Structure 1
Amino acid sequence: MTSDIPERALHILQTVFGYPAFRGQQAEIVEHVAGGGDALVLMPTGGGKSLCYQIPALVRDGVGVVVSPLIALMQDQVDALAEVGVRAAFLNSTQTFEETLRIEKLVRTGEIDLVYVAPERLMTQRCLDLFEDSHIALFAIDEAHCVSQWGHDFRPEYIRLSILHERFPHVPRIALTATADQLTRAEIAQRLQLEEARQFVSSFDRPNIRYSIVEKTNGRKQLLDFITSEHQGDAGIVYCLSRKKVEETAEFLNESGIRALPYHAGMDYALRADNQARFLREDGIVMVATIAFGMGIDKPDVRFVCHLDLPKSLEGYYQETGRAGRDGLPSNAWMAYGLQDVVLQRRMIDESEADENFKRVLGSKLDAMLGLCETLSCRRMRLLEYFGERSGPCGNCDTCLIPPVSFDATVPVQKLLSAIYRVDQRFAAGHVIDVLRGVQTERISQWHHDKLTVYGVGPDRSEHEWRAIVRQVIALGLVTVDHDAFSSLKLTESARPVLKGERKVELRQYQKPVKPKRQAGAGKSSYVEMDLSPAEQKIFEKLRWWRMETARAHSVAAFIIFGDATLREIAKVKPTSLDELRGVSGVGAKKLTSYGDEIVAMITEMV
Structure 2
Amino acid sequence: MDLHGPLKKFFGFSKFKGLQEQVITSIANNQNTFVIMPTGGGKSLCYQLPALMKEGTAIVVSPLIALMKNQVDAIRGISENDGVAHVLNSSLNKSEVAQVKEDIANGITKLLYVAPESLIKEEYVTFLRTQKISFVAIDEAHCISEWGHDFRPEYRNLRHIIKAIDNVPVICLTATATEKVQEDILKTLGITDANRFKASFNRANLFYEVRPKTTDVEKDIIRFVKQRMGKSGIIYCLSRKKVEEVAQILQVNGINAVPYHAGLDAKTRVKHQDMFLMEDCDVVVATIAFGMGIDKPDVRYVIHHDIPKSLESYYQETGRAGRDDGEGYCLAFYAYKDIEKLEKFMASKPVAEQEIGHALLQEVVGYAETSMNRRKYLLHYFGEEFDEVNGDGADMDDNSRSPKKKHEAKDDVVKILSVVKNTLQKYKAKEVVNTIIGKENALLTSHKTHLQPFFGIGKDKSAAYWMALIRQILVVNFIRKEIEQYGVVKLEKAGEEFLKKPTSFMMTEDHSYSAENDNAIVSNAKSSGAAADEKLIKILKDLRKKVASKTGVPPFAIFQDPSLEDMALKYPINLEELSKVHGVGEGKARKFGKEFVKLIETYVNENDVLRPDDLIVKSTGVNSGMKLYIIQNTDRKLPLEDIAKSKGKEMNDLIKEMEAIIYSGTKLNIDYALDDLLDEDQQEEIHEYFMEAESDSIQDALDEFDGDYDEEELRLMRIKFINEVGN
Using the size of structure 1 for normalisation, the TM-score is 0.67
Summarize deviations over 1:167-219 as a string: whole Å, max 9, x none.
24542211110011111111111222222211111111111211111111221
Describe how 1:471-490 pairs up with structure 2 within 5 A: none
Task: Determine the C-alpha separation between the residues in 2 that align with 1:267 and 1:317.
Answer: 23
Which residue of the partner structure matches residue 552 of structure 2?
Answer: none
SS in structure 2 of the partner of residue 266 of structure 1: coil
User: Is 2:352 aligned against 1:352?
Assistant: no
Describe how 1:590-601 pairs up with structure 2 within 5 A: none
SS in structure 2 of the partner of residue 258 of structure 1: coil
- Does the 8 Å contact 1:64/1:140 carry over to 2? yes
Aligned-residue CA RMSD in angstroms? 3.2
> Which amino acid in 1 is paired with 2:268?
L
User: Is 2:304 aligned against 1:307?
Assistant: yes
Per-residue deviation at 1:407? Answer: 6.3
Summarize deviations over 1:373-399 as a string: whole Å, max 9, x none.
111211010001011110012211111
- Does the 8 Å contact 1:261/1:288 carry over to 2? yes
Task: Determine the C-alpha separation between the residues in 2 that align with 1:474 and 1:396.
Answer: 34
Per-residue deviation at 1:406? Answer: 4.4
Summarize deviations over 1:380-433 as a string: whole Å, max 9, x none.
100010111100122111111222334699xxxxxxxxxxxxxxxxxxxxxxxx
Which residue of the partner structure matches residue 282 of structure 1?
Answer: 279
Out of 250-259 and 266-275, give the one that drifted further: 266-275
Q: 1:250 to 1:497 in 2, by over 3 A?
A: farther
Task: Determine the C-alpha separation between the residues in 2 that align with 1:300 and 1:97.
Answer: 36
User: Is 2:352 aligned against 1:370?
Assistant: no
Per-residue deviation at 1:253? Answer: 0.8
- Does the 8 Å contact 2:404/2:509 carry over to 1? no
Out of 385-394 and 400-409, give the one that drifted further: 400-409
Describe how 1:415-564 pairs up with structure 2 within 5 A: 496-500=456-460, 507-508=509-510, 512-513=524-525, 514-517=527-530
Per-residue deviation at 1:284? Answer: 4.2
- Does the 8 Å contact 1:30/1:52 carry over to 2? yes
Per-residue deviation at 1:57? Answer: 0.8
Task: Determine the C-alpha separation between the residues in 1 that align with 2:219 and 2:274.
Answer: 27
Task: Determine the C-alpha separation between the residues in 1 that align with 2:290 and 2:233.
Answer: 12
Q: 1:192 to 1:324 in 2, by over 3 A?
A: same
Which residue of the partner structure matches residue 379 of structure 2?
Answer: 384
Per-residue deviation at 1:300? Answer: 2.2
Unaligned runs of 5+ in 1: 410-472, 480-491, 524-607
Per-residue deviation at 1:299? Answer: 2.3
> Which amino acid in 2 is paired with 1:371?
G
Summarize deviations over 1:463-507 as a string: whole Å, max 9, x none.
xxxxxxxxxx9998899xxxxxxxxxxxx9999444346997663
Which residue of the partner structure matches residue 361 of structure 1?
Answer: 356
Summarize deviations over 1:69-101 as a string: whole Å, max 9, x none.
111232221121122227222222222321221
SS in structure 1 of the partner of residue 55 of structure 2: coil
Which residue of the partner structure matches residue 336 of structure 2?
Answer: 339
Task: Determine the C-alpha separation between the residues in 1 that align with 2:240 and 2:110.
Answer: 40
Which residue of the partner structure matches residue 197 of structure 1?
Answer: 194
SS in structure 1 of the partner of residue 326 of structure 2: coil
Describe how 1:63-462 pairs up with structure 2 within 5 A: 63-85=57-79, 87-217=84-214, 218-229=216-227, 231-349=228-346, 351-355=347-351, 357-393=352-388, 394-406=394-406
> Which amino acid in 1 is paired with 2:200?
S
Task: Determine the C-alpha separation between the residues in 1 that align with 2:455 and 2:239.
Answer: 33
> Which amino acid in 2 is paired with 1:60?
K
- Does the 8 Å contact 1:109/1:134 carry over to 2? no
User: Is 2:30 aligned against 1:36?
Assistant: yes
Task: Determine the C-alpha separation between the residues in 2 that align with 1:278 and 1:202.
Answer: 32
Task: Determine the C-alpha separation between the residues in 2 that align with 1:79 and 1:21.
Answer: 23
> Which amino acid in 1 is paired with 2:372?
S
Q: From the CA coordinates, give the structure whose radius of gyration is larger.
A: 2
Task: Determine the C-alpha separation between the residues in 1 that align with 2:165 and 2:99.
Answer: 24
Q: 1:46 to 1:475 in 2, by over 3 A?
A: farther
Of 14, 17, 32 in structure 1, the residue corresponding to residue 8 of structure 2 is 14
> Which amino acid in 2 is paired with 1:220?
E
Summarize deviations over 1:89-118 as a string: whole Å, max 9, x none.
222222232122112101111012212111
Summarize deviations over 1:248-296 as a string: whole Å, max 9, x none.
0010111111111112223334323332333333354311112232323
Between 1 and 2, higher relative CO (CA 8 Å, sep ≥ 6) is seen in 1
Summarize deviations over 1:342-378 as a string: whole Å, max 9, x none.
33233334x23221x3322222211111111111211
Q: Number of aligned pairs?
A: 441
Q: 1:122 to 1:509 in 2, by over 3 A?
A: closer
SS in structure 1 of the partner of residue 529 of structure 2: coil
Task: Determine the C-alpha separation between the residues in 1 that align with 2:294 and 2:431.
Answer: 34
Higher helix proportion (structure 1 or 2): 2
Task: Determine the C-alpha separation between the residues in 2 that align with 1:280 and 1:195.
Answer: 39
SS in structure 2 of the partner of residue 50 of structure 1: helix
